[in-house]
Structure 1
Amino acid sequence: MIPTAKLAAVREQFPVTTRQLYLDSAHQTPLALSVREALEAFLSEGFEMAGPKPVWLRRVEETRESVATFFNAAPTEIAFTKNTSEGLNIAANAVPLRAGDNVVLIEGDHPNNAYAWLNLKRNGIEVRFAPLPDDEIATAKTFEPYIDARTKVVSLSHVTFHAGQVHDLMSIGRLCKARGIYLIVDAMQSVGVIPLDVKALNISVLAAGTHKGLLVPQGLGVLYIADGLDELQPAYLAMSSMANPPADYVARPDDMALRKDARRFEFGNVNLPDLHALHAAIGLIQSVGVAAIQKHVLALGDLLLERLDALGVSVVGPRARGKRNHIYVLKLPVDKWTDYFARNNVRVSPERGGIRVSLAMFNTVGDIERLIEMLRIGLTTGTLAATEQID
């Protein structure tokens, strides 16, 4: 786990922990003090100086560099978007697909990934879904039966939002590299909580929002596009996309050359306030280390599973380390338990299989014990009998 002194310092960054039992970081993380201060500093500059835009844009590039380091990527491989869904749609419209080509997804994965590709059926693209039980993770073997000579893309979430599976991107990436298939990853639930090396995993495109493990309010996304994938072309253009943007702001129809880096996918102005916040958030995360954060939430998960077993409460997703990380869905009826937790100031999320508990770097052993006590009280006072768990 994170050393006690450092954990206490991290927890102080999140005042929400003094007001409620917060176990909902897979929905969104609460605002950290350092992130709030970065936002306030940006607003003060805008208020006092009407916006020092050259300074702000320089900081954007500093943030781009820190995001690149986060993924073991180059700054030229990072673009900024609005959210994960925009990044996935950018990818779906950038890959050179022709009628008859196919894309393989996981059945039941996040719908916004599916819709990005299903939207291409109007162009004759086939979308195939590989079934996967909630207690299993996807590996290369999951996709192999659905891949043929016309398969151009495999796309999936790294971590599923509804069962907490951590899929085996290493084997899937090797399969895609060997077959010449683009691997496009939704990292919304893993970024900032699980170390991500886009090169080692052979990821072609990675999309993620920043309001979960990256600790920044909604409205900002990061997009990784591997260098060398020049055939991936943006569906929309702005001056920011062009290799030679006109200094006089007059479009040149005879010069439509695009940037060679990921910024060809940036469409106009970026979210300056959130990018200031992201720079501060990454600093906070790196002060602990993503590997340490993962180790911490896994240890808390071990304790949670042990205590749940003692209560007779089961979970939806996998239990083995390496197959789960920080998301646990308790098999409890949503209608009764969502209201019970809300009334008792416990922040969790209803999910398709039960009640989702998601852990973050600021959570502690005490948080787990408080949750278990709340469950025990609910089970013994008639809120829910143990036999009423979801089958």
Structure 2
Amino acid sequence: MTTLFDHETVRDEFPVTRHMLYLDSAHQTPLATRVRVALDAFYAEGHEMAGPKPIWLRRVEETRTRVAAFLNAEPCEIAFTKNTSEGLNIAANAVPLRAGDNVLLIEGDHPNNAYAWLNLKRKGVEVRFVQLSSDSVIADAETFAPFIDERTKVISLSHVTFHAGQRHDIASIGRLCEEKGIYLVVDAMQSVGVLPVDVKALGVSVLAAGCHKGLLVPQGLGILYVKNGLDEMQPAYVAMSALANPPADYVARPDDLQLRKDAGRFEIGNFNLPDLHALGAAIDLIEEIGVSNVETHVLALGERLIAHLDELEIALVGPRSREARSHIHVLDLPVQPWFDYLTREGVRVSPERGGVRISFAMFNTPADVDRVIEIIRKGIVALRTVPAHAAG
């Protein structure tokens, strides 16, 4: 396996690697040292200086610029939210939908994306679920084309699925949406920070993601990209921060409710300042390695894992080909006994609907793969478990 960066230097950033075999970054990533340093510095300023808020807000805008560059967007196209779900709900309520319009989703995709749109059924919006034939199938333009009619206004799906690791062909769907005049709303929770995400190349209208997975910060911060020019998308709720002309004296002006033209019209009140300080440090780390190198690294770890699984005749729930995979791999094993066993062995994974989920990050190594395989090999004997299916 080609070394793209210094694994040991990266692992030194994540002390958790000294205490457990952490294979659960699709759930959340552990704290990197430099991210903790940024958080500590923020809290020290608040503790010792009672909060230099103008300085903190200037740093927010610096981080906004960093996030925009990271996604190939403009700073004015980036808003900060609490999490992916808030971003998706903002999008669902901002798109100008009327009774009789319809939205296309993938059946079995993350439920919080579905619920954001299903909530609009009370307004007469129809939600149509497109079914994939298996967890190995990748959605592309041809997946959705047969379900589009003149009342289809939105297609919304995950870039990478949480439950099987499929990497959907967002770019082809984006081209279809542009051709048909349809909004494309993408959940990038599992991809941003792990795979390159270029909002212009993908052709998305709106992209939402939390920052506690590939972007390495604690829970409570999300990013929202809203493509320039979508002025018809209006926020469902408004605070002073959303206004084009916020009153300097903090007295509301009923005759001036003009909203900002940029993505800031979707922001409400105060920011998650600690996490925004942390996000700048996290982007520093990711960019030092290179997100393309992170992608190549985790895909190579996946290839090593799949080769070992084939030897053990353990099937993979999800795609096997490199172009269709991500950092997420679900092993077709009985969930509860195996999750409990791996936990006892000091391996951090997640139970998933199709089996046991292993997800890699920048700090994992080929030795981590070999170690978990040896633990699984012993587990087959200890649990007297015959894999549910032979590897395909």
TM bucket (normalised to shorter chain) is over 0.9
Residue 41 of structure 1 pairs with residue 41 of structure 2: yes
CA distance in 1, matches of 2:2, 2:187: 27
1:389 Cα offset (Å): 5.4
CA distance in 2, matches of 1:77, 1:378: 49
Deviation track 1:319-338 (CA, whole Å, cap 9, x = no partner) reads 00111111000000011001
1:58 Cα offset (Å): 0.4
Shift of the 170–38 alpha-carbon distance from structure 1 to 2, 3 Å rule, reads: same
CA distance in 1, matches of 2:131, 2:353: 17
Q: Which residue of 1 aligns with 2:92?
A: 92
Matched-pair contact (CA < 8 Å) for 1:155–1:184: yes
CA distance in 1, matches of 2:224, 2:166: 22
Q: Which residue of 1 aligns with 2:6?
A: 6
Q: For structure 1, which runs of at least 5 residues remain unmatched after alignment?
A: none
CA distance in 2, matches of 1:387, 1:74: 49
DSSP 3-state at the match of 1:306: helix
Q: Which residue of 1 aligns with 2:324?
A: 323
1:248 Cα offset (Å): 0.3
Q: Which residue of 1 aligns with 2:227?
A: 226
1:301 Cα offset (Å): 0.5
DSSP 3-state at the match of 2:154: strand
DSSP 3-state at the match of 2:316: coil
Matched-pair contact (CA < 8 Å) for 2:313–2:389: no
CA distance in 2, matches of 1:363, 1:210: 19
Matched-pair contact (CA < 8 Å) for 1:312–1:386: no
Q: Which residue of 2 aligns with 1:283?
A: 284
Shift of the 23–73 alpha-carbon distance from structure 1 to 2, 3 Å rule, reads: same
Matched-pair contact (CA < 8 Å) for 1:24–1:357: yes
Q: Which residue of 1 aligns with 2:368?
A: 367
- The one-letter code sitting in structure 2 at the alignment partner of 1:91 is A
Deviation track 1:118-154 (CA, whole Å, cap 9, x = no partner) reads 0000000000000012110101111111110100000
Shift of the 261–353 alpha-carbon distance from structure 1 to 2, 3 Å rule, reads: same
CA distance in 2, matches of 1:308, 1:390: 10
Q: For structure 2, which runs of at least 5 residues remain unmatched after alignment?
A: none
Q: Which residue of 2 aligns with 1:312?
A: 313
Q: Which residue of 2 aligns with 1:243?
A: 244
DSSP 3-state at the match of 1:214: coil
Deviation track 1:73-97 (CA, whole Å, cap 9, x = no partner) reads 0000000000000000000000000
CA distance in 2, matches of 1:45, 1:226: 35
- The one-letter code sitting in structure 2 at the alignment partner of 1:346 is V
Q: Which residue of 1 aligns with 2:19?
A: 19
- The one-letter code sitting in structure 1 at the alignment partner of 2:56 is W
DSSP 3-state at the match of 1:284: helix
CA distance in 1, matches of 2:11, 2:373: 20
CA distance in 1, matches of 2:59, 2:347: 37
Q: Which residue of 2 aligns with 1:63?
A: 63
Q: Which residue of 2 aligns with 1:157?
A: 158
DSSP 3-state at the match of 2:200: coil
- The one-letter code sitting in structure 2 at the alignment partner of 1:24 is D
Q: Which residue of 2 aligns with 1:213?
A: 214
CA distance in 2, matches of 1:333, 1:209: 30
Shift of the 390–87 alpha-carbon distance from structure 1 to 2, 3 Å rule, reads: farther
Q: Which residue of 2 aligns with 1:265?
A: 266
CA distance in 2, matches of 1:79, 1:388: 45
Shift of the 40–308 alpha-carbon distance from structure 1 to 2, 3 Å rule, reads: same
Q: Which residue of 2 aligns with 1:51?
A: 51
1:385 Cα offset (Å): 2.3
1:173 Cα offset (Å): 0.5
Q: Which residue of 2 aligns with 1:274?
A: 275
CA distance in 2, matches of 1:252, 1:387: 67
Deviation track 1:7-54 (CA, whole Å, cap 9, x = no partner) reads 211110000001000000000000000000000000000000000000
CA distance in 2, matches of 1:108, 1:387: 24
Deviation track 1:211-259 (CA, whole Å, cap 9, x = no partner) reads 0000000000000000100000000000100000000000001111000
Per the normalisation by structure 2, the TM-score is: 0.98
**Matches for 1:175-190 after TM superposition, within 5 Å:** 175-190=176-191
DSSP 3-state at the match of 2:202: coil
DSSP 3-state at the match of 1:28: coil
DSSP 3-state at the match of 2:373: helix
- The one-letter code sitting in structure 2 at the alignment partner of 1:114 is A
**Matches for 1:190-201 after TM superposition, within 5 Å:** 190-201=191-202
Aligned length: 390
Alignment RMSD (CA, Å)? 1.2
DSSP 3-state at the match of 1:104: strand
Deviation track 1:296-350 (CA, whole Å, cap 9, x = no partner) reads 0011111000010001111110100111111000000011001001101000000
1:2 Cα offset (Å): 7.0
Identity of aligned residues (%): 69
Q: Which residue of 2 aligns with 1:77?
A: 77
CA distance in 2, matches of 1:351, 1:304: 18
Q: Which residue of 2 aligns with 1:138?
A: 139
- The one-letter code sitting in structure 2 at the alignment partner of 1:138 is A
- The one-letter code sitting in structure 1 at the alignment partner of 2:155 is V
- The one-letter code sitting in structure 2 at the alignment partner of 1:62 is E
DSSP 3-state at the match of 1:152: strand
1:201 Cα offset (Å): 1.0
Shift of the 36–23 alpha-carbon distance from structure 1 to 2, 3 Å rule, reads: same
1:5 Cα offset (Å): 5.8
CA distance in 1, matches of 2:103, 2:61: 34
CA distance in 2, matches of 1:290, 1:387: 35
Per the normalisation by structure 1, the TM-score is: 0.98
Shift of the 305–354 alpha-carbon distance from structure 1 to 2, 3 Å rule, reads: same
Matched-pair contact (CA < 8 Å) for 2:95–2:232: yes
Q: Which residue of 1 aligns with 2:173?
A: 172
Shift of the 293–387 alpha-carbon distance from structure 1 to 2, 3 Å rule, reads: closer
Q: Which residue of 1 aligns with 2:117?
A: 117
DSSP 3-state at the match of 2:351: strand
Matched-pair contact (CA < 8 Å) for 2:35–2:279: yes
